[in-house]
Amino acid sequence: MPRGRRSNEAIRVATRAAFGATSVGSSAHVVSSGAAHGSPISTGTRTAMLFQMWLPYEIAGAASGIFLTMAQLEMADHVSDPGVKLLAHFAAFIAGVGALFYLVTGPAGFFQYRALLRRAQRQ
């Protein structure tokens, strides 16, 4: 196969992997495995996917959880009915657990992916 055609195929596969990912889980799979739809993806593209797709999702998840927790706690402070207050506190607890999950697993996953990409780059 001529060099130009192979290069165009690699660009097409990388673009499809980056923009055709249906979820952050599939982009994380591409970052970790180095392949999309059976075709290899360069380390540079995988690094870009980590920073442009996976990382913003993790930050948005943590920020949303924190915002929802604060909003529910604020609502609980302005309600006099004990049942509604309990419900607001319960909703704040659920959102807080979600935010905590993102705040713990997000950085751990990020450093794991970065280490994996550094090892792949050295090879």
pLDDT digits (tens, 9 = 90+) for 64-112: 999 999 999 999 999 999 999 999 999 999 999 999 999 999 999 899 9
- Alpha-carbon distance values, 44 to 2, 22, 56, 77 (Å): 23, 21, 18, 49
Per-residue model confidence as pLDDT tens digits over 19-63? 555 455 677 777 888 887 777 888 888 888 888 888 888 899 899
pLDDT attached to residue 8: 52
Going by C-alpha positions, the residue among 59, 68, 64 that lies closest to residue 106 is 59
Domain ranges of the chain: 3-122
**Quick check: 62 and 102 in contact, CB under 8 A?**
yes
Would strands 35-36 and 39-40 be described as parallel, antiparallel, or unpaired? antiparallel
pLDDT(12) > 80? no
pTM of model > 0.75: no
**Quick check: 17 and 30 in contact, CB under 8 A?**
yes
In this prediction, residue 2 has a pLDDT band, given cuts at 50, 70 and 90, of very low
pLDDT attached to residue 16: 57
Burial class from Cβ neighbours inside 10 Å (0-12, 13-18, 19+) for residue 71 reads: middle
pLDDT attached to residue 1: 43
- Alpha-carbon distance values, 98 to 2, 41, 45, 72, 112 (Å): 50, 32, 29, 14, 21
pLDDT attached to residue 67: 96
Q: Is 22 helix (H, G, I), strand (E, B) or coil?
A: coil
Query: Quick one: tokens of 59?
Result: 């930050």
